[in-house]
Amino acid sequence: MGGSHDFQQMQSVRSDSRDIVLAQILEPDGNDVDPVSIGREFAAGIEQCLLDLVIGCELDVEIQIAEKRLRILGIRKQIAETELEILELQHSLKEQLREENHVKAMRA
């Protein structure tokens, strides 16, 4: 009667035993995982759970990167619009100066 048999008995008593094992494996600072206490029947499921966790994190990171890029593009758009407004103001001021100089020249 090894660890695997004891684990199977625990499984029949507690339906959430797999979650308990996963919680023990994923426990923070848990550097001492005892592979004997993890039955072979759970190895593939645990591996899949870990893969799902990693893939989920990768997707979260990709979404965050996309959001940051979108924000950067929005900021670049605002900068371009501001630069265009500045150019329009410069053009308008030059036109006003020309008109004022022309009026002064006509009066003189």
pLDDT by residue for the chain (108 residues), tens digit each?
444 444 444 444 444 555 655 565 556 555 665 555 666 666 677 777 777 777 777 778 888 899 999 999 999 999 999 999 999 999 999 999 999 999 988 887
User: Max Cα separation, the chain?
Assistant: 115
Global confidence as pTM: 0.46
User: How many structural domains compose the chain?
Assistant: 1
52: which 2 tokens? 């799902």
101: which 2 tokens? 């100089």
Residue 2 belongs to domain spanning: 1-38
Establish if 61 belongs to a structural domain.
Answer: no
**Measured between alpha carbons, how far is residue 95 from residues 44, 69, 103 in Å?**
76, 39, 12
Establish if 49 belongs to a structural domain.
Answer: no
Establish if 56 belongs to a structural domain.
Answer: no
CB count within 10 Å of CB 70 equals 10
Q: At what angle are helices 17-25 and 40-107 packed, to 10 degrees?
A: 60
Establish if 108 belongs to a structural domain.
Answer: no
Establish if 19 belongs to a structural domain.
Answer: yes
